[in-house]
Amino acid sequence: MPLAEYRAADATTLAGWVAQGAVSPAELLNAALAEAEAAAHLGAICQMLPHLAEAALPGVDRAAPFAGVPLLVKDLGGALAGAPTWAGSRHLRDTAQPAAQGGAVVGRLRAAGMVPFGKTTVPEFGLNFSTEPAIGPLCRNPWDSTRSAGGSSGGAAAAVAAGIVPVAHATDAGGSIRLPAAWCGLVGLKPSRGAVPQGPDFSTLLGGLATEFIVSRSVRDSARALQVLARPPVDGPYLPPLPDGYDADGLDRPPPPQRIALLTTAPDGAPPGPAWAAAAESAARVLQAAGHAVEPADPRPLSGICTTARRAFSTFACRNLAAVLDVLSPAPDGLEPLNWAVAQRGATLLPRDFVAQEVAQARMAHDFAVLQRRWGILLTPTASGPPPKLGVLRTDGSDAMGHFAALARLAPYAALANATGCPAIAVPHGLDASGLPLSVQLLGPPGSEAILLGLARTLEQAAPWPILAGA
């Protein structure tokens, strides 16, 4: 098939072509492989696995929601059967064996017709907002190859923005879906805690902060993916994120009027870049014109709440990595220095530290729920500024807490959704003076995905974004 048509189509369109017999799953795979080769300089893919895809082609159900759509799986989080997980780590690259069993989310995407053919690059163990693992490849932003594509789902976002695939598997424990989506001009939904199955072992990561989903080019692809993934799992609690009878094709029916609180500064009062604040204000005007009640909000009530949320991320990240390394037993020089420092800090944490964190997190979630009842949906800039140049977010130092503080400054409202279990979505909204994507975040109460997707669709219709980088 013509590559230009492939690059311009979202996953829903591609699946429709397959259902109609206009193209075959094999043709879509060949197009994806050609695009991957053409965009190899971006470093979005760390493992090419075409043999797995070719073996899956005969089993594709042409009536499936994503029939024949090529998929890239993040090399961290949900496993892909038949492929090892390197997690950006030299030690795992040298020792990991192919997974005998795939993760629940990847399994459901495959059952919906998607065809995985590779794994996307991540920063080592996912603990950076830039995807520059020491083992390579260095992941570049398709909009400006001197800049970061974000992290930890940077490879996923770069691959979708570059047109290699229309959607890619991603994970988010502190903004790792939303920030790469924002910097690459994509839709990035982080579902409610418990809405998407996380078995057989992913749900134990990072104290429940982490969840799996996708990054996409269109709101309807994210809505359709949620329909595919949000079914009662066999491995844990389930919070239905979509109302009975929800139809992703009905996104053009606007959601009922919402109360929306506009926040254009960080909880500590630090202003984002002017273009990012202006994007949030522009999105507020669009939503207000669509019948929603938008009011500016004072961010100060969120100061302590966001501090607790960030502390939850750093606490669980440090202890989780320490526990992982207890099992892996890598040599100190087999790990990037920053992550060695993170693990060393985690090893010093005591059980009472976790009890105190859990108590503080529960109180924080209650306080935020009270605030949400007054404010409704939160509308913020997704990031505080454009993607940094490659090499800025370094991992060759030992200041773990300084590193986490730097990440918080880049996305001051990101960890809030993870710590509270709330859904949040990053939505493209314009370009800055340099031609780089701008993005806004919508954050709602648990189970409000349908409302967030409806609001995102309103923004998509009012201010369509370029589907391809640089378009």
Rounded Cα distance, 195 and 216, in Å: 18
Query: Could you give the 3-state DSSP secondary structure of residue 426?
Result: strand
Residue 412 has pLDDT above 60, yes or no: yes
Confirm if 116 and 442 have CB atoms less than 8 A apart.
no
- Which residue shows structure tokens 């065809």? 115
Write out pLDDT tens, residues 138-165: 999 999 999 999 999 999 999 999 999 9
Of residues 236, 255, 238, 298, the one with CA closest to residue 425: 255
pTM for this structure?
0.97
| Mean per-residue pLDDT, 407-420 | 97
Interaxial angle between packed helices 219-229 and 11-20, expressed in degrees from 0 to 180 and rounded to the nearest 10: 70
pLDDT at 470 over 90: no
Distance CA(302)–CA(236), nearest Å, equals: 30
Backbone CA torsion sign across 292, 261, 430, 219: negative
Task: Please compute the mean of the pLDDT values over residues 371-384 and round it to a whole number.
Answer: 97
Positions marked active-site: 74, 152, 176
Residue-level pLDDT at 246:
83
Task: Please give the mean pLDDT across all residues of the chain.
Answer: 94
Q: How confident is the model at residue 469 (pLDDT cuts 50, 70, 90)?
A: very low
Encode burial over 298-335: b for 16+ CB neighbours within 10 A, e otherwise: ebeebeebbbbbbbbbbbbbbbbbbebbeeeebeeebb
Distance separating alpha carbons of residues 276 and 199, to the nearest angstrom? 37
| Domain annotation for the chain: domains and CATH numbers | 3-462 (3.90.1300.10)
SS3 144: strand
Half-sphere exposure of 365 (CA within 13 A, CB side): 17
Q: pLDDT at position 448, please?
A: 95
Rounded CA separation 425/413 (Å): 12
How far is the C-alpha of 36 from the C-alpha of 48, rounded, in Å?
A: 9
Task: Evaluate whether 291 touches 254 at the Cβ level (below 8 Å).
Answer: yes
Q: Read off the pLDDT of each residue in 43-61 and give the average, rounded to a whole number.
A: 98
Whose CA is closest to 87, among 42, 45, 126, 135? Answer: 126
* pLDDT band of 89, cuts 50, 70, 90: very high
Please determine, for residue 343, whether its predicted confidence score (pLDDT) is greater than 50. Answer: yes
As a whole number, mean pLDDT of residues 424-446 equals 97
Task: Give the tens place of pLDDT for each residue, 226-275.
Answer: 999 987 766 566 667 888 778 887 787 889 999 999 999 999 899 999 99
Where does the pLDDT of residue 205 fall: very low under 50, low under 70, confident under 90, or very high at 90 and above?
low
pLDDT digits (tens, 9 = 90+) for 238-249: 667 888 778 887
Residue 53: CB partners within 8 Å, gap ≥ 6? 29, 70, 115, 116, 117
Report the run of H or E that residue 91 belongs to, with start and end. Answer: helix 90-95
Residue type at 21? G
| Dihedral angle of Cα 440, 171, 420, 181, to the nearest 10 degrees | 0
